[in-house]
């Protein structure tokens, strides 16, 4: 059992969905980012998605782009992100961390060295936005050998034939992108997500989280009743942006406050049974 499979098994038993906050590593700086990361589990995070900043985040909207810009301006590097995770992992042995980013940073680090170093620092999964199944073997196979899952996407444009091939080599969980678009720009369409999750459940037993377009506790609750996990990103990193002028303590407090409220509604929603 991995930390990811343990977490999803436990949540399933408890009959609730995972709350999965996304923050960009090093945003607005390394220390503040650690202060947030460290307290996210207590604020209700079941799994944490940690963004690896990139200069050219093609699949992200303005909020997450701005988070990358802030982190890079403050000197964030891949090595520092791995140290951040290592420090987190010393104190927290159970909350899975999934590192999310773009392939060029992995490629530049060297794929073999990258999977070894992320596994060593305590990363449980990788989400590489621009690595579709046609290209992911180079990373998926060596990552798996280190016990790290490469999380695959399913989207509104994925048809049944493709879905079948995606789930065939998938592990950890699936990430359903609720809208065709970049992060943080459209609202999650609940009925379409329900239909999609039904379709995905028919194809696999893997847990399925939903992200892109979930901003409010109400939306989180609605998705929590359908899916195995609720990912919130843009709303959280926007909270960082909105509070920077008020100081770092305020940034940490506001992000945790929002996380608690999103986690609360995610956890309170009845995990409705979707017919297989």
Residues annotated as catalytic (active site), given as ranges: 49, 60
Q: Which of 196, 210, 200, 238 is nearest to 49 (CA)?
A: 210
* Residue of 42, 141, 168, 180 interacting with other proteins (CB under 8 A): 180
Helix (H, G, I), strand (E, B) or coil at 203: helix
Window of 52-60, 139-147, 193-201, 214-222 that interacts with other proteins by CB under 8 A: 52-60
Q: Which residue reads 């998705």 in tokens?
A: 223
Under a CB-based contact definition with an 8 Å cutoff, are residues 230 and 209 in contact?
Answer: yes
Q: Which is nearer to other proteins, 105 or 266 (CB)?
A: 105
Calculate the CA dihedral of residues 249, 255, 258, 263 and round it to 10 degrees. -120
Residue 108 CB, shortest distance to other proteins, in Å, is 3
Positions 109 through 168 that interact with other proteins (CB under 8 A): 109, 129-135, 152-159, 162, 166
* Residue of 42, 58, 141, 202 interacting with other proteins (CB under 8 A): 58
Under the binding rule (CB under 8 A), the answer on residue 177 touching other proteins is: yes
Helix (H, G, I), strand (E, B) or coil at 153: strand
Cα separations in angstroms, 191 against 149, 195, 223:
29, 6, 10
* Residue of 186, 194, 199, 248 interacting with other proteins (CB under 8 A): 186
Helix (H, G, I), strand (E, B) or coil at 98: strand
Under the binding rule (CB under 8 A), the answer on residue 218 touching other proteins is: no
Spell out the residues 6+ positions from residue 249 whose beta carbon is closer than 8 angstroms to its own. Answer: none
Window of 32-40, 103-111, 225-233, 258-266 that interacts with other proteins by CB under 8 A: 103-111
Neighbours of 240 (CB within 10 A): 26
What is the token pair recorded at 241?
Answer: 């942006």
Beta bridge partners of 100: 51, 127
Residue 79 CB, shortest distance to other proteins, in Å, is 8
Residue 185 CB, shortest distance to other proteins, in Å, is 7
Under the binding rule (CB under 8 A), the answer on residue 108 touching other proteins is: yes
Q: Which is nearer to other proteins, 180 or 268 (CB)?
A: 180
Under the binding rule (CB under 8 A), the answer on residue 74 touching other proteins is: no
Helix axes 190-203, 160-168, angle to 10 degrees: 60
Under the binding rule (CB under 8 A), the answer on residue 22 touching other proteins is: no
Size of interface with other proteins, in residues (CB under 8 A) = 42
Residue 246 CB, shortest distance to other proteins, in Å, is 25
Q: What is the DSSP letter of 46?
A: S
Neighbours of 268 (CB within 10 A): 12
Under the binding rule (CB under 8 A), the answer on residue 182 touching other proteins is: yes
Binding interface with other proteins (CB under 8 A): 54-59, 61, 65, 72, 77-78, 102-109, 129-135, 152-159, 162, 166, 177, 180-182, 185-186
């Amino acid at each position: 059992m991995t930390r990811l499979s343990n977490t999803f098994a436990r949540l399933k038993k408890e009959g609730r969905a995972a709350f999965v906050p996304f923050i960009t590593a090093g945003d607005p700086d390394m220390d503040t980012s650690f202060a947030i990361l460290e307290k996210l589990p207590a604020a209700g995070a079941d799994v944490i998605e940690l963004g690896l900043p990139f200069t050219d985040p093609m699949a992200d909207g303005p909020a997450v782009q701005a988070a990358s810009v802030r982190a890079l301006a403050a000197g964030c590097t891949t090595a520092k992100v791995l140290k951040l995770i290592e420090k987190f992992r010393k104190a927290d042995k159970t909350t899975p961390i999934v590192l999310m980013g773009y392939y060029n940073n992995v490629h530049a680090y060297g794929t073999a060295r990258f999977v070894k170093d992320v596994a060593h620092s305590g990363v449980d999964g990788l989400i590489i936005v621009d690595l579709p199944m046609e290209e992911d073997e180079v990373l998926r196979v060596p990552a798996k050998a280190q016990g790290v899952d490469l999380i695959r996407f399913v989207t509104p444009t994925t048809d049944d034939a493709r879905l079948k091939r995606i789930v065939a080599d998938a592990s950890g969980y699936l990430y359903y992108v609720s809208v065709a678009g970049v992060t943080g720009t459209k609202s999650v369409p609940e009925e379409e997500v329900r239909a999609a999750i039904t379709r995905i459940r028919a194809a696999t037993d893997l847990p399925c989280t939903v992200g892109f377009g979930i901003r409010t506790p109400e939306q989180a609750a609605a998705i929590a009743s359908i899916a195995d996990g609720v990912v919130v990103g843009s709303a959280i990193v926007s909270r960082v942006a909105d509070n920077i002028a008020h100081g770092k303590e305020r940034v940490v407090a506001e992000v945790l406050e929002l996380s608690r409220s999103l986690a609360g509604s995610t956890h309170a929603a009845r995990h409705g049974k979707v017919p297989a």
